[in-house]
Amino acid sequence: MMAECSTISDPRDDLAKQLREHGQEHLLATWEEIPSQSRESLLESIREIDWSLIQRLYASRNCKPDIGKLIQAATSPRGPRLSDRADPRVRRAAVECGEEALRAGRVACILVAGGQGSRLGFEHPKGMYPIGPLSGHTLFQILVGKALARGRRYGRRMPLALMTSPLTHAETVAYCEHNDRLGLGDDLHIFCQGTMPSLDAETGKALLAVPDTLALSPDGHGGMLAAIHRHGILTRLHEQGIRHLFYFQIDNPLLDVAEPEFLGHHILAGSEMSTLVVAKKTPLDKVGNVIQVGDNLHVVEYSDLPEFLAKKPGPNGKLLLWAGSIGVHVIELDFLLRVADLAEVMPFHVAHKKVAYYDPRKRILVKPEAPNAIKFERFIFDLILHAKNAMVIEVEESDQFAPLKNAPGAERDTPQYVQDQLVAKYRRMLRESGCEIVGEPAVEIDSLFALDSWELSQKLRQGIKIAEPTYFSPDGPVLVKHGGDDS
């Protein structure tokens, strides 16, 4: 009997037609020069991409919302202010409500930490950057330390979901494991956000980083929703009884993590998403602009805002767009579960960037000197338009916002700027607790020693004088002077 002939199909066959339909057939042009062990990885990367979506996004790349029409209907956002000048009864009610949620274990944190410290000259995850003025503690240690201290105060260790990106994931996981999972054990949930292909701005063709790898970029901090849902973390947190998620970003060590008054205002208002804002110092500050249009809140990204609209005055003569988002939110977990599968609630935004790429026709690596590519990103603040009873809560910038973004030499948001803001806040805490500051010594207070001035007042004797650089370590109520002397 003659054996039946078998045909071995080319693994490219199932993709070639689809790629041709979307003008992306060049992605397989390097096939013959790719090592056999790398070919399947390239095919898998190509299969994971919704090329119909990519084609639609590129076609609409120049379509921007009518910001002018939106601003014309805008009013100043409504919401309370976290301040000693606020109504003490309202403030007390909010604090008590937030504290009750923390004691009941209904609060978890989401920390977005997908960025590298490249702008700082630090080629590691930004969370590993040492920023403690005296301790040298990293952003991870400072911010997660605040979450640990908050949980300890209310007798509950808060779960924390930590979002990485493909660029930072492996190193972040290794760092967390080396540092005892940041003290959180099984309550630390590390997950990686998704990616989007970078496109040539002129042609819409997806770029290759090297012959066997697509040029991919993280899909923005708004990618958190899809990623945390995909990894099953939302469901796990819900089963643990979590109802309120405190969302924050890795670059802001000045932040009061899971602050009870903020949580309480959010809960008492029946809000599905609340956001912290600061009063902008100038119309052109590089922050999202929060506005009220009817019953809904909108956030207008500074890069989408023409200068004449940014400077538009409100009815009181002050800046209409005064409220700058600092990337800190409280979000209801049930709300995220409800909208997780609704793609339209998280539109993609276009960013023009310089992206090095491999040219498959010339067989060379190209390093452009000007922006040549389009990246697509989602922003978490777009969720606020769809949230019921969304609200803003104003805070003092000097208390809550000092982002680490720029290398030394910039005007602000540099390592020195951030450390100066931290030291200034720690000095205020010490004065409020009854200490006397002599001169301008550098001071640092570990959150695991004292989370606020009230806790400081319980641990330090009244009238103590601090005149030298002093670090308050977590190992009990001991002042550890810079240089190792105790007092």
Please give the pLDDT value at position 482. Answer: 45
> Do 448 and 319 fall within a single domain?
no
Q: Determine the 3-state secondary structure of 309 from DSSP.
A: helix
Contact criterion met (CB below 8 Å) for 272 and 331: yes
> Quick one: angle between helices 260-268 and 88-103, nearest 10?
100
> Do 95 and 183 fall within a single domain?
yes
Which residue among 405, 437, 456 closes a domain? 405
What's the pLDDT tens digit per position in 37-72? 888 899 999 999 999 999 999 999 988 777 888 888
Please give the pLDDT value at position 335. Answer: 96
> Do 447 and 348 fall within a single domain?
no
Q: Determine the 3-state secondary structure of 383 from DSSP.
A: helix
Please give the pLDDT value at position 2. Answer: 40
Tell me phi and psi for residue 153, to 5 degrees.
Answer: -60, -35
Name the stretches of the chain with pLDDT < 50.
1-8, 477, 482-487
Please give the pLDDT value at position 5. Answer: 45
> Do 344 and 423 fall within a single domain?
no
> Rounded to whole angstroms, what are the CA distances from 201 to 48, 106, 374, 377, 445?
22, 46, 5, 15, 48
Please give the pLDDT value at position 1. Answer: 39
Which residue among 405, 429, 463 closes a domain? 405
Residue in 147, 341, 117 with CA at minimum distance from that of residue 228: 341
Long-range contacts of 282-285 (CB under 8 A, 24+ apart): 283/307, 283/310, 283/311, 283/319, 283/321, 284/310, 285/324
> Do 243 and 154 fall within a single domain?
yes
Residue in 164, 161, 165, 168 with CA at minimum distance from that of residue 182: 161
> Do 163 and 310 fall within a single domain?
yes
Does residue 251 fall inside a structural domain?
Answer: yes
Please give the pLDDT value at position 475. Answer: 82
Contact criterion met (CB below 8 Å) for 434 and 440: no
Does residue 313 fall inside a structural domain?
Answer: yes
Please give the pLDDT value at position 483. Answer: 42
The CA-CA-CA angle for residues 57, 59, 63, to 5°, reads 85
Query: What's this model's pTM, rounded to 2 decimal places?
Result: 0.92
> Do 215 and 99 fall within a single domain?
yes
Which residue among 376, 405, 434 closes a domain? 405
Number of domains in the chain: 2
> Do 234 and 168 fall within a single domain?
yes
Query: Which CATH number does the domain housing residue 199 bear?
Result: 3.90.550.10
Please give the pLDDT value at position 256. Answer: 97
Does residue 145 fall inside a structural domain?
Answer: yes
The domain in which residue 441 lies consists of: 418-481
